[in-house]
A and B are shown apart, each in its own frame.
Chain A
Amino acid sequence: KAGVTQTPRYLIKTRGQQVTLSCSPISGHRSVSWYQQTPGQGLQFLFEYFSETQRNKGNFPGRFSGRQFSNSRSEMNVSTLELGDSALYLCASSLAGYLSEEQFFGPGTRLTVL
């Protein structure tokens, strides 16, 4: 069974640009969550999607947005990039996201903003 996949693995952007990251969950998983990991703040929750609906959102500015498609694949978008957005972005999938379920993480996308 294939794990969670994320593309691209590495990105370099400049301030002011926008970026789109993609996450494909484990087959059959319908919940996808996104996290930002930085050395200073650790792992912080961005948002969660289930059946194309955002059910939960963390404390991030509106520049961070996401969506989920009917096949459960998810994308997150960051507009007007800032230097502080440089981070490892991780997505996780689970069956439904609210039961006593294990979450499985992808390898992450390393975003560098210059």
Chain B
Amino acid sequence: KQEVTQIPAALSVPEGENLVLNCSFTDSAIYNLQWFRQDPGKGLTSLLLIQSSQREQTSGRLNASLDKSSGRSTLYIAASQPGDSATYLCAAYAGGTSYGKLTFGQGTILTVHP
């Protein structure tokens, strides 16, 4: 059974800092890994999707890496801004017959203060 863990559970940083969010998964046979952002009371916004054959993906100030052998993914946020404050979730997709099923971590609550 796939389990996804995110560390830290919460993070508070001053504006401008570079930061790293961590995600680990127990079953390395994943098909892809997706990072999401969730604002309070809202739905999920997809940030980055990394296929199992890829090592990293970049979008603007965000960079996500994937190391299947160690069961880890990291989300790097450069030059953080107050608008980055949200909950960040990672989710692993097993593929195969696990149609549509993402297994989520509990999330990291990020606060960026001015």
Please give the residue numbers on chain A whose beta carbons come within 8 Å of chain B beta carbons, in ascending order. 4, 6, 31-33, 35, 42-43, 45, 48, 50, 55-56, 58, 88, 90, 92, 94, 97-98, 100, 102-108, 110
Please give the residue numbers on chain B whose beta carbons come within 8 Å of chain A beta carbons, in ascending order. 31-32, 34, 36, 41-46, 49, 51-52, 89, 91, 93, 95-107
Give every chain B residue within 8 A of A108 (Cβ-Cβ). 42-43
Determine how close the nearest CB of chain A comes to the CB of B47; give it in whole angstroms.
Answer: 10
Determine how close the nearest CB of chain B comes to the CB of A111; give it in whole angstroms.
Answer: 13
Give every chain A residue within 8 A of B52 (Cβ-Cβ). 100
* Contact across chains for B43 and A90 when beta carbons are under 8 A apart: yes
A-B contact pairs, 15 of them (CB 8 A): A33-B100, A33-B102, A42-B106, A45-B102, A48-B101, A55-B97, A55-B99, A56-B98, A97-B99, A98-B95, A98-B97, A103-B34, A103-B102, A107-B42, A110-B41
Complex Cα distance, B107 from A100, in Å, reads 23
Give every chain B residue within 8 A of A107 (Cβ-Cβ). 42-43
Q: Which residue of A lies closest to B101 (CB)?
A: A45
Q: Which 8 A-B pairs have CB atoms at the shortest separation, nearest pair first?
A: A48-B100, A33-B100, A105-B44, A43-B104, A55-B99, A97-B100, A107-B43, A56-B99
Complex Cα distance, B70 from A65, in Å, reads 37
Q: Which residue of B lies closest to A45 (CB)?
A: B101
Question: Beyond A43-B104, A100-B32, A102-B34, is A50–B99 a contact (Cβ under 8 Å)?
Answer: yes
Give every chain A residue within 8 A of B91 (Cβ-Cβ). 43
* Contact across chains for B98 and A105 when beta carbons are under 8 A apart: no
Question: Beyond A31-B100, A42-B104, is A106–B46 a contact (Cβ under 8 Å)?
Answer: no
Determine how close the nearest CB of chain A comes to the CB of B105; give it in whole angstroms.
Answer: 8
Give every chain B residue within 8 A of A56 (Cβ-Cβ). 97-101
Give every chain A residue within 8 A of B44 (Cβ-Cβ). 90, 92, 105
* Contact across chains for A94 and B51 when beta carbons are under 8 A apart: no
Give every chain B residue within 8 A of A6 (Cβ-Cβ). 43
Give every chain A residue within 8 A of B104 (Cβ-Cβ). 42-43
Give every chain A residue within 8 A of B46 (Cβ-Cβ). 102-105
